[in-house]
């Protein structure tokens, strides 16, 4: 008996113009396109998005572009991990059909001076928390994601829940554009509970030990919720109690009603709650979150 092994060869396109043409061609053939936007330095969290996009669509495509518009800190942009060769191999092994890259100028061909790109405001879900500590970050995300959606014209786009506020902002964008369907996928964690992040590779072993305090803090908030606590103040305090360590700087450890986003901490008891944390450990900034009422 003959065994046939099917090897999918991933197409690697260097420019958004080529990607746009290829995606339009796929759509004209009736294919559904599942899209995973990334900034590279891929880990199992990204690959879980590709697996989901692959399973739910005829075609799965991804982008790798480290978007300078969403880095308010140039040092963070420069230090962002880059490993294109490994990224391409991982995407291909995961069954991605096409990946594209591009430069800022190629994403905004109509702009002659890249300092003058029209930045789209993130909208109401961009206010508070991330905005306070990374002003302009979510505006930059919305601006590039809009271009990426216009390039691909996806049926569905896949985002990790770890970037919770980002998922709210891109869901607003998709609603306003009339597409795509946004699929928010669960955070992938190490056995220790630490959320996978491209930035984790920049942590020293000691710093990683500190980073591993984030998840227990989120679990403390969930435990408080399960014991009947509904006060936003006290749920937040349950987290900060766990984050009191030398070398770990808490930017925020707060709860929000995920269905009624507020820039500030809500003042009345919650019916639904999302606990959100951002910390700095050395030069690395990490974020994580957990739904408390599920």
Binding residues vs ligand PAF (CB under 6 A): 37-39, 67, 70, 141, 144-145, 163, 166
Is the CB of 13 or the CB of 273 nearer to ligand PAF? 13
Contact call for residues 286 and 197 (beta carbons, < 8 A): yes
CB of 271 to ligand PAF, least distance (A): 29
CB of 64 to ligand PAF, least distance (A): 9
H or E stretch covering 38: strand 33-38
CB of 62 to ligand PAF, least distance (A): 10
DSSP at 65: -
CB of 269 to ligand PAF, least distance (A): 32
The contacts of residue 211 (CB under 8 Å, 6+ apart) are 194, 200, 203, 279, 281, 284, 286
Of 78, 55, 54, the C-alpha closest to 66 is: 78
Is the CB of 26 or the CB of 67 nearer to ligand PAF? 67
Is the CB of 38 or the CB of 213 nearer to ligand PAF? 38
Of 63, 58, 14, 61, the C-alpha closest to 37 is: 63
Is the CB of 70 or the CB of 289 nearer to ligand PAF? 70
CA distance linking residue 286 with residue 210, whole number of Å:
11
CA distance linking residue 21 with residue 116, whole number of Å:
26
- CA 243 vs CA 19, 85, 209, 240: distances in Å: 44, 37, 12, 5
- Which amino acids are annotated catalytic? 46
């Amino acid at each position: 008996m003959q065994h046939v092994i099917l090897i999918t060869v991933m197409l690697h396109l260097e420019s958004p113009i080529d990607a746009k043409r290829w995606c339009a061609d796929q759509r004209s053939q009736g294919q559904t396109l599942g899209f995973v936007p990334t900034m590279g330095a891929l880990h199992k969290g990204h690959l879980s998005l590709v697996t989901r996009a692959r399973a739910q669509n005829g075609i799965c495509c991804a982008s790798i572009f480290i978007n300078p518009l969403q880095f308010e800190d140039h040092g963070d942009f420069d230090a962002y991990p880059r490993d294109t060769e490994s990224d391409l191999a991982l995407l291909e092994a995961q069954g991605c059909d096409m990946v594209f890259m591009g430069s800022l100028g190629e994403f905004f061909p109509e702009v002659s001076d890249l300092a003058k790109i029209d930045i789209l405001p993130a909208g109401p879900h961009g206010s508070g928390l991330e905005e306070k500590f990374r002003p302009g970050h979510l505006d930059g995300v919305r601006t590039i994601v809009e271009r990426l959606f216009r390039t691909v014209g996806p049926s569905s786009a896949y985002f990790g829940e770890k970037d919770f506020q980002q998922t709210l902002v891109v869901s607003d964008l998709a609603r306003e554009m009339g597409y795509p369907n946004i699929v928010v996928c669960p955070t992938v964690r190490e056995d220790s509970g630490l959320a996978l992040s491209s930035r984790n590779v920049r942590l020293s072993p000691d710093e990683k030990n500190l980073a591993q305090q984030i998840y227990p803090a989120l679990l403390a908030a969930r435990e408080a919720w399960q014991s009947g606590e509904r006060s936003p103040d006290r749920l937040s305090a349950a987290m900060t109690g766990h984050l009191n360590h030398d070398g770990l700087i808490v930017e925020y450890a707060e709860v929000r009603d995920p269905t009624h986003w507020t820039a500030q901490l809500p003042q009345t008891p919650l019916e639904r709650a999302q606990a959100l944390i951002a910390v700095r450990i050395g030069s690395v900034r990490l974020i994580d979150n957990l739904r408390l009422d599920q």
